[in-house]
């Protein structure tokens, strides 16, 4: 479900109009989170670390309302729940797009992710379709080969896009911490650095916490 934002009374109406006129309205931030407790919890639960941190990312995104805004036909809509369109790899090192539905509980989230991973492995090409290209998603990718400090995305400026793009990189140990870089790219007409800061705060909490899903915040 989604509801429309009233642009006439929205406190971001000028921000939205200003940045929407840009050829490149997206801004990006890279920061590190501590994944030590999350990695240990994944091992204890017998689930993949990828499943656990993707679930944590979606938990955090669904808390921050600004990351659930989407621009459709010039109007801003807020989705009640957003999911993941993740790039999943194959044994031949190509990737395919996917649609991974969000579920508040990690155990309920796993089957959908595993089904999409299997579907990608059994397919070829990009798998770009109406489902993987839904607007109520984040575009997610994992880059486990690099502990990056910056990240850009290939984008077609002629295509109207307002979906946040979140990527994670290779972890590195530092003392008792297991630091993982996370890149967030978001449409500046819909979100600011404040909202990205909220996301990182919620992501760290999700990585450190048990499976109970947090409430939402504006």
Structure-block tokens of residue 131? 């489902």
- Distance between CA 151 and CA 137 in Å, rounded? 20
Give how far Cα 117 sits from Cα of 98, 99, 124, 160, 169, Å: 8, 10, 12, 28, 19
- Distance between CA 204 and CA 174 in Å, rounded? 17
CB burial of residue 64 (10 Å; 0-12, 13-18, 19+): buried
CB burial of residue 45 (10 Å; 0-12, 13-18, 19+): middle
- Annotated catalytic residue within 15, 187, 188, 195: 188
Count of Cβ atoms closer than 10 Å to residue 214 Cβ: 14
Could you tell me if 202 and 33 are in contact, meaning their C-beta atoms sit under 8 angstroms apart?
no
Could you tell me if 52 and 41 are in contact, meaning their C-beta atoms sit under 8 angstroms apart?
yes
**Residue 188 annotated among the catalytic residues of the structure:** yes
DSSP string, 31-55: EEEE-HHHHHHHHHHT--HHHHHHH
- Distance between CA 186 and CA 28 in Å, rounded? 7
User: Known catalytic residues?
Assistant: 188
């Amino acid at each position: 479900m989604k509801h429309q934002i009233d642009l006439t009374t929205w406190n971001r109406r000028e921000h939205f109009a200003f940045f929407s006129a840009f050829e490149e309205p997206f801004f990006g931030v890279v920061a590190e989170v501590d994944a030590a407790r999350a990695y240990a919890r994944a091992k204890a639960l017998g689930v993949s670390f990828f499943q656990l941190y993707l679930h944590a990312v979606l938990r955090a995104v669904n808390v921050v309302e600004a990351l659930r805004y989407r621009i459709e036909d010039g109007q801003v809509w807020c989705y009640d729940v957003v999911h993941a369109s993740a790039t999943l790899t194959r044994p031949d090192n190509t990737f395919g797009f996917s649609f991974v539905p969000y579920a508040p509980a990690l155990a309920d989230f796993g089957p959908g992710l595993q089904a999409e991973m299997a579907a990608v492995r059994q397919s070829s090409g990009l798998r770009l379709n109406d489902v993987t290209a839904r607007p109520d998603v984040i575009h997610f990718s994992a880059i486990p080969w690099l502990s990056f400090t910056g990240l850009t995305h290939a984008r077609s400026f002629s295509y109207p896009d307002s979906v946040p793009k979140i990527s994670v990189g290779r972890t590195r140990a530092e003392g008792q911490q297991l630091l993982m870089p996370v890149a967030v790219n978001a449409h500046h007409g819909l979100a600011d650095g404040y909202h990205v800061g909220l996301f990182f705060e919620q992501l760290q909490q999700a990585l450190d916490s048990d499976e109970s899903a947090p409430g939402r915040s504006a």
